[in-house]
Amino acid sequence: MTHRWHLSARVSLLVACALATSCGITVTSDSPPYEELDPKEKQTVDVILAELTALNAAIKGRTSFTIDPLLDRDHIDVAFEETLFAGNLGDGRLHVATWENLSDDQRVLIQTWFAAPTLEAARTTYEKFFYQFLAVSNGVKQFIYNALTVAWTYQNRSLFNLESDSIRNALAHYDAASRRAEMWTFVTTACAPVLSQYGATYSAHFDKVYLRDHYTDLANPKAPTGYMYFICRWITKGKDDAESLSKELAWLLSLKT
């Protein structure tokens, strides 16, 4: 039987703590191996792994680094419930919530985010956004951790900059992979209702200090609407700023020199 668990809200606090004060990160929740997942969860892991494998090939072709240890089905963590989360905390695992493991209220919230006409339409958008685009963005974080070390990253990069860098590199990756027309158009369309609905609440707060001080509210694992708005703003910014993937990766490597 698959072991079900809840990704604790402490995860959010740990991330905020580490990036704000350089304290250590420990994720103690135990997740089941791939073979114990249900069929939908296995399918999610396979989609994510395919995206990460393509990202890894692109990184290996341009640098001496990889995104190990994420290239392991057992390190793609999807078996937590009622927690709306996608992240790479530096613990050697990618954590991504599956649509099926969300609560009914969370699925309705996602439908609202994307202004989807039906829950099925919301599911389709959610899966592409979280299992593909955000999986790649969080895969880029593994490159950053491997190249710069987790400790250096937490000591020298704000959460705002880490997310911005990762999302910009994800956009550059899709451009380099000849998937710009697909993925850039998709995230632009998906984010349009997020930006229009929540801009009045969050647009004036889109900065690293506000994110640092209000992280636990913005990224509430039950309803992270504020963080979703920030993600869409980082995407908007990234579309303007992104250079070639080779230049983006080289810039990240230069941060520690």
Q: By percentage, how much of the chain surpasses pLDDT 70?
A: 88
Residue 1: inside a domain: no
The predicted pLDDT at position 14 comes to 45
What residue spans of the chain are helical by DSSP H?
10-21, 39-60, 104-113, 119-128, 134-148, 150-156, 159-176, 180-202, 208-218, 225-241, 245-254
**54: nearest Cα among 41, 45, 66:** 66
The predicted pLDDT at position 31 comes to 83
Residue 3: inside a domain: no
Residue with tokens 């937590």: 80
As for how many domains the chain has, the answer is 1
The predicted pLDDT at position 171 comes to 98
Residue 2: inside a domain: no
What does the pLDDT average to over 234-252?
98
What does the pLDDT average to over 65-82?
96
pLDDT at 23 over 80: no
Residue 182: inside a domain: yes
Residue 5: inside a domain: no
Residue 55: inside a domain: yes
Question: What span, in angstroms and rounded, lies between the C-alpha atoms of 226 and 211?
Answer: 10
Q: Which domain holds residue 237?
A: 10-254
- The lowest-confidence range among 17-21, 100-104, 123-127, 153-157 is 17-21
CA distances, 235 to each of 85, 163, 187 (Å)? 18, 10, 8
At residue 212, the 3 state secondary structure works out as helix
What mean pLDDT is reported for the chain?
91
* pLDDT tier for residue 17 given thresholds of 50, 70 and 90: very low
pLDDT at 224 over 60: yes
pLDDT at 216 over 80: yes
- The lowest-confidence range among 2-11, 40-49, 162-171 is 2-11
* pLDDT tier for residue 3 given thresholds of 50, 70 and 90: very low
The predicted pLDDT at position 24 comes to 40
The predicted pLDDT at position 257 comes to 77
Residue 48: inside a domain: yes
The predicted pLDDT at position 188 comes to 98
Residue 144: inside a domain: yes
pTM of the model: 0.91
The predicted pLDDT at position 253 comes to 97
The predicted pLDDT at position 21 comes to 40
At residue 96, the 3 state secondary structure works out as strand
